[in-house]
């Protein structure tokens, strides 16, 4: 976490500690990084590490921060917020759930969320987020795929992301059904006409952001069976493609 703070400061981000959560190693801070630019640029939020056994997201965030000063020109034009590691107690244990055995990504909007999610919910409500990107991995997938909540199919970013990854030689999950949902060429798309119903006990973060008014949310899923550097490269290329499209 010190490495992330250091890289963030070097990249011009302001680190904030939203609060502390319990873990095996004691109490761990939940960090939020922000980089403000003058004017009314849209605000992007990048979140990683909500599932502790999906390390490519947090590693991609660290790589992004380390590269930020010398690249990522399109991202420089946005207000950027990053939550580099949502579930540090799960990350320590290399487990999906947090130290209390809860899957934090099913608790957004619930009346009694776990402490890491309570801190984020309180923080997110304070300003609108225009674009939300959630970095995940999926042990079952042979290749990259993603979820997107977009206004409609013609404006979806997903097909462009898949093209970019395919062109770079990364494998894509081509199954017509992924996680029980219809998928086309690695994309599970939801538009305003088929937003999934909100769970009473709490929702994944993408759905919660949608409920708060975020117009576009994307969730990337990389395959843990490949080496970590390849998965980090997939996450970064997908992110770069989205930001380039969004600022074009
Ligand atoms: Zn996940």
Q: What is the 3-state secondary structure (H, E, C) of 19-72?
A: EEEEECCEEEEEEEEEECCCCCCCEEEEEECCCCCCCHHHHHHHHHHHHHHHCC
Query: Does an H or E element contain 150, and which?
Result: none
State residue 72's pLDDT score: 96
Distances (CA, A) of 34 to 7, 23, 81: 13, 25, 4
DSSP 8-state assignment for residue 108? B
CATH class of the domain comprising 2-247: alpha beta
**CA of 136 relative to ligand 1 center, distance in Å:** 4
CA of 46 to the centre of ligand 1 (A): 14
Picking from 56, 36, 67, 32, the residue whose alpha carbon sits closest to that of residue 46 is 32
Three-state DSSP state, 229: helix
- Six-digit token string for 187: 């994309």
Tokens of 186: 């690695």
Q: Distance from the CA of 41 to the center of ligand 1, in angstroms? A: 29
Residue ranges, the chain, pLDDT below 50: none
Q: What is the pLDDT of residue 1?
A: 75
The structure's pTM equals 0.96
**Ligand 1 centroid from CA 40, angstroms:** 32
Per-residue model confidence (pLDDT) at position 195: 63
Contact 86, 50 (CB under 8 A): yes
Q: What angle do CA 168, 51, 217 make, to 5 degrees?
A: 60
**What totals of helices (H) and strands (E) does the chain contain, helices first?**
8, 10
Q: How far is the CA of 55 from the centre of ligand 1 (A)?
A: 10
What distance in angstroms lies between residue 97's CA and the mean position of ligand 1's atoms?
A: 10
d(CA 162, CA 241): 9
Contact between 145 and 217 under an 8 Å Cβ cutoff? The reply is no
What is the distance between the alpha carbons of residues 181 and 179, in angstroms, rounded to a whole number? 6
- What is the whole-number distance in angstroms between the Cα of residue 37 and the centre of ligand 1? 31
Report CA(179)–ligand 1 centroid distance (Å). 12
CA of 38 to the centre of ligand 1 (A): 34
């Amino acid at each position: 976490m010190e490495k992330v703070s250091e890289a963030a400061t070097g990249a011009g981000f302001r680190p904030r500690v939203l609060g502390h959560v319990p873990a095996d190693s004691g109490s761990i801070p939940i960090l939020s990084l922000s980089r403000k630019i003058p004017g009314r640029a849209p605000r992007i939020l990048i979140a990683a590490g909500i599932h502790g056994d999906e390390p490519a997201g947090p590693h991609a965030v660290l790589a992004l921060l380390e590269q930020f000063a010398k690249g990522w020109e399109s991202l420089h034009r946005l207000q950027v917020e990053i939550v580099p590691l949502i579930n540090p107690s799960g990350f320590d244990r290399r487990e999906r759930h947090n130290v209390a055995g809860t899957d934090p990504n099913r608790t957004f909007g619930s009346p009694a969320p776990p402490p890491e999610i309570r801190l984020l919910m309180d923080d997110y409500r304070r300003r609108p987020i225009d674009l939300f990107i959630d970095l995940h991995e999926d042990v079952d997938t042979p290749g990259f795929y993603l979820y997107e909540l977009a206004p409609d199919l013609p404006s979806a970013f997903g097909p462009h992301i898949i093209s970019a990854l395919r062109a770079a030689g990364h494998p894509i999950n081509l199954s017509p059904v992924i996680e029980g949902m219809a998928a086309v060429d690695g994309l599970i798309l939801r538009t305003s006409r088929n937003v999934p119903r909100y769970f009473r006990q709490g929702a994944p973060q993408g759905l919660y952001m949608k409920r708060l008014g975020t117009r576009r949310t994307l969730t990337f899923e990389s395959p843990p069976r490949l080496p970590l550097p390849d998965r980090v490269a997939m996450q970064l290329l997908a992110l770069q493609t989205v930001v380039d499209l969004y600022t074009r």
